[in-house]
Chain A
Amino acid sequence: MYRYDDIDRQMVAARVAEFRDQVTRRLSGDLDEEHFRPLRLMNGLYLQLHAYMLRIAIPYGTLAARQLRKLADIARRYDRGYGHFTTRQNIQFNWIKLEEAPDILAELATVDMHSIQTSGNCIRNISSDQYAGASADEVEDPRPWAELMRQWSSFHPEFSWLPRKFKIAVIATDADRAAMRWHDIGVQLVRRDGQLGFRVYVGGGMGRTPLIAPLINDFVPAGQILSYFEAALRVYNRYGRRDNLFKARIKILVHELGAERYAAEVAEEFLVTSQLGIDPPAAEIARIRSFFAPPLFEEGLPESIDRTDPDFAHWAARQVRAHKAPGYAIVNISLKAPGAIPGDASADQMEAIAELAERYSFGELRVTHSQNLVLPHVRIIDLPAVWAGLQAAGLAHANLGLASDIIACPGLDYCTLANARSIPLAQKLGVRLAPREEELGDLKIKISGCINACGHHHAGHIGILGVDRKGVESYQLLLGGSGEEDASAATILGPGFSEDGVVEAVAAVTDVYLAERHEGERLLDTWRRLGAAPFKAAVYGGAND
C-alpha cells in the first residue's frame, strides 16, 4: 500500500503545526469561534452533541495493521475506548478534547494518517471498492488511480472552496461495491481495445435531493483523468449554485443543465485543461502503482478446507468471498452483530483485528462503506484460525448483506444535525429480523437520522429516514433503493411511524416479500415487479401507527 514520501510527510507535519498554533490561539482567546470553526472543520474536527468528534481519513478504505493499532491507541488514550467506521470508509472518534486534538494529529502523522479534507466544501476522501486488488473480476487494482486522485485533490488551490462538499468514488468492476453512482463523480476503470480508461459519471448524491449520476463520458483515457476531473470541477466551480445551500451540490447543476449540456461544457473545458500539463507522466503513475503491487502470494496452496464444523461452515459461506489468487480468500468482518452499534469497534477489537491482519493478511485491511472491515488476502488454509480469532474478539458474526447488516449513521445519539436516533432503531431491527435473515436473503437496510442521508437511506432496499415531528422522533419508510450497479432511489411508502411502529412496518414489508417473491428474487426485485400497492396494503391496511 502507499507509503508517504518526504513531501507527503512535510505537508502533513506542516498542517499539524499550523493547527496546533490555531488551537493555541483559540484557547487563549486570540481567535474567536467564528474564525476558528472553519479551520477546525478543515481538520475534520466537529463539535457534536456531547463533545468534539474527529473524523480521520482512510484513503479508499485501505488501512495497514500498524495504522489500526494506532487508531486503537488513540481510542484508549484520547477517546473512550472505541471508534466508529463510517459510510465514507473513514473512522470517527466521538469524545475528543480540542486541547488534545493537535497531539492526536501528530500521532496520526507517525503512521501516515491525517484528517485533512474530511470536512468542508472540498474534495473529500476518495472511496473505492473494498475488494480492490483482491477480486478476480476487476480490470486492474483501482487504488493507484484513487491515490493519484488523492494527491491531486489534496490542498488543490482551485478546489478547496467549492460551492459544496465533493465526493469521488473509483471502482474497477461491473459489480459496484462502492455506491459509485451516488457520488458527485463516480468512475469505473475499463479496458477498451487494449487501452485503459474511465467511464465517468457525474452528478450523483443523496441528501435532500437524491440523484443517481448520469454517464457523462463513456471513455476518458486513464492517463488524462486528472485533466478531465479538472474540467468537470471547473465547470461546477463556475456555475454551481453558491447562492443556495440546498442547490449547491454538483448534482443540481448537472440535473438543471442536463447531462448532455454539462458534458459539452466539460468537453470544451477539457480542451484547455488537457493542455495544462496536469496529467502525470507515465513514470509517476508507475511509481504509484509500485506501492500497490500484489503481495507475494504463495503458489500451490490448497483451495478447499474442512467444513465439517457447521458453525465455521456457516460463517465461511456468508463472510468469505473468492480471491483472484488461487488458495486465497477475502474475509469480511461484521461490525453488525444484532444489537450492536453498526460500525463501532472497541480498541481491543481493533487490536485483535490488526493482529489477524498481520498474521494472516499481509498486514492489510479494508474499511467498507457498509461499515464493516475486510481482511483482503487470507490463505484458505488459515480461515479456521481467522475465524477462531474473530470469535475470541466477538467479531465472528455471519450476516454479510443480510437484514441485520444495517448501515446506520450516528443519528441523534451523537450528531448535532440529526432529527432522530438511528442506532437504537438499527439495534431493534437487527434483533427482530436476525432469526429469519437467511430466509430473507440479500436485504440492504439503511437508516439516516436526518435528510443529509449519511446512512444512505435513499440507497436501501429498505430505507428509513428519521424526522422531527413536532419535537418527537418519527421515521419515514422508503422502499426500492440500491447502491449497487442497478442503482435506484428509494421512494417513500407513506406516512411516518414511531420507532416501534417502523420496526413493525419493516416486518410487514418482509412478510409481503416472503409471500410474493419469485424464485431468486431479492426484496428489491419483488418491489420492482409488484410496485408499492401490496406493501402499502400490508403496512397501512390495518390500524395506522
Chain B
Amino acid sequence: MVKLLTGNRLHCGQVIWWKGDGWSTSFSHAVGLAPEDGEAIRQRVAADEMINDLALIDAEEVDGRLRPLRIRERIRSYGPTVRPDLAHAGQDYR
C-alpha cells in the first residue's frame, strides 16, 4: 500500500493530486509516496495555506495503476458518478 497526497485548490476548490514536483488536476499524474515522505510534503505544503482539505490517503497499485482504497477518494478522482459528462475522462471510480 502507498500514500497519495491530495487536496482542493483554495481559489476554485478543484481536486488536485501531488505529482512529485507539484500538483495536477488529473489523477493519472498522481505519484505513490511512502508514508513518511508523504507526511513531510504534506507539512511543507500545509504551511502555504493555499490548499484545503490536504490529506494523505491510502492507495494500492493494480495492474500498474494507482487506485485509492476508499470509494470516496475514487469518486474524488473521477467526479460525480451520476454525471459522467462532468467526470475526468479515462478515470474509473469502481
Contact = CB atoms under 8 A, between A and B. Distances in A.
- Our verdict on whether A and B bind, yes or no, reads yes
Interface of A: 26-27, 29, 32-33, 47-52, 80, 94-99, 341, 412-414, 416, 418, 421, 423-424, 427, 471-473
B11 A414 contact: no
Contacts, number: 69
Contacts of A473: 71
B12 A98 contact: yes
A420 to B, nearest CB: 8
A133 to B, nearest CB: 35
A97 B82 contact: no
Secondary structure call for the A interface? mixed
Interface in B78-94: 79-83, 86
Nearest to B46: A33
Secondary structure call for the B interface? loop
B13 A471 contact: no
Contacts of A26: 10
B71 A472 contact: yes
B75 interface: yes
Interface in B3-44: 8, 10-15
A192 B86 CA distance: 55
A414 B12 contact: no
A427 B13 contact: no
Interface in B49-94: 49-50, 52-53, 69-72, 75-76, 79-83, 86
A52 B13 contact: yes
- Residue among B50, B69, B72, B86 with the highest chain A CB neighbour number at 10 A: B72
B60 to A, nearest CB: 12
B15 A49 contact: yes
B86 A80 contact: yes
Contacts of A427: 82
A258 B53 CA distance: 41
- Residue among A80, A94, A412, A416 with the highest chain B CB neighbour number at 10 A: A412
Contact of B72 (A29, A32, A49, A80): A49
Please name the 6 residue pairs, one residue from A and one from B, whose CB atoms are nearest each other, closest first.
Answer: A51-B13, A413-B80, A52-B13, A97-B12, A423-B82, A99-B11
